[in-house]
A = this chain, B = another copy of it.
Amino acid sequence: MSFFDYFRSRKTRSAQLAKERLQVIVARERVHRDGPDYLPRLQEEILNVIRKYVQVDEDAVSIQLERDGNCEVLELNVTLPEQRV
């Protein structure tokens, strides 16, 4: 399954609104469990970068952070307003 299929399957689940959507996934695979946990800060900075290009409302962002063994996956889903800045 390609990422396109994954993205589309998510779309089907989320009621298929005719809105622009942006999804950012940051996945980190660690070799060692120690080391700094920078994903939450990275997430905030990526969101700030996205805000330069599109208008993002606070309540239009959903954030999920999942950990599974040495994998960490941070998922940001942004629904964009019809009118772009």
- Number of identical protomers: 2
A24 CB within 8 Å of chain B: yes
Given A20-B29, A31-B82, 16 further pairs, Cβ under 8 A: A1-B6, A3-B25, A3-B73, A6-B6, A7-B27, A7-B71, A18-B31, A20-B30, A22-B26, A22-B29, A23-B26, A24-B24, A24-B25, A24-B46, A42-B49, A46-B46
Q: How many residues on A have C-beta within 8 angstroms of the other chain's C-beta atoms?
A: 40
| A41 and B21 contact, CB distance less than 8 A | no
| A28 and B36 contact, CB distance less than 8 A | no
Residues of chain B within 8 A (CB-CB) of A42 are: 49-50, 53
| B4 and A68 contact, CB distance less than 8 A | yes
